[in-house]
Amino acid sequence: MTEKLSKLLSRAPVVPLVQSNDRNEAVAIAEALLDGGMLVLEVVLRTDAAYECLQAITEAFPEVEVGAGTVLSGAHAEKATAHGAKFIVSPGLHESVVRVAQDNDIPVLPGIATATELQQAWNMGLRIVKFFPAGLSGGPKMLKALSSVFRDVAFMPTGGVNKDNLLEFLNIPSVVACGGSWLTPKAAIEAQNFQAIEKLSCQALEIAESRG
């Protein structure tokens, strides 16, 4: 992880997910998240216009750390990097994705759910990973167990994290941030209610600030 990304996550340890099929809408979502105090954004590659949305956000907010999520292959990683991604996140662990990120000298957070996958990531030189799907893979208890063995690894749990359990995850010393899909609810986006997204962002940071 770059020093800049690490510092930003220490200040705002939630990484909201941006999903849209329209570049203008994507920029509006990003703006609402930033207005709510978010400092790092992840644009997920789950729509036909995802790369276009990624580039639109990076161009609109060049000072913001914007990454690409749901990166499934080396080709996806290369294209995401070409469209401005400053870090790469994937749901699973795949060597080609890791290699592209390392070749481009940008952080990569592959998804792991088991000790076996984490050991593979560790032996690839990775010291920060995504724990996914966090809620279905044992939640905080599983993270604590993994952390006791892989003591030099940091985690970004994603999937099943919400305002009700955010603090429990963030209070685990090895957790540097949580993925925040709940910050960009589909209903709010469809209603163009970007103020709701800003409010959810503020709420998440208030919870993060109460960490023990």
Please choose, from the candidates 52, 53, 14, 11, the residue with its C-alpha nearest in 3D space to the C-alpha of residue 30: 53
Which residue in the list 25, 65, 79, 130 is annotated as catalytic? 130
Determine contact, residues 209/45, Cβ cutoff 8 Å.
no
* DSSP assignment of 106-136: --EE-EE-SHHHHHHHHHTT--EEEETTTGG
For the chain, the straight-line distance linking the first and the last C-alpha, in angstroms and rounded, comes to 24
Structure tokens at 194: 């970007």
Does residue 42 carry a catalytic annotation?
yes
Q: How many CA atoms lie within 13 A of 153 on its CB side?
A: 28
Does residue 130 carry a catalytic annotation?
yes
Which residue in the list 42, 65, 79, 86 is annotated as catalytic? 42
Dist CA 138 CA 153 (whole Å): 17
Q: How many CA atoms lie within 13 A of 54 on its CB side?
A: 30
Tell me the catalytic residues.
42, 130
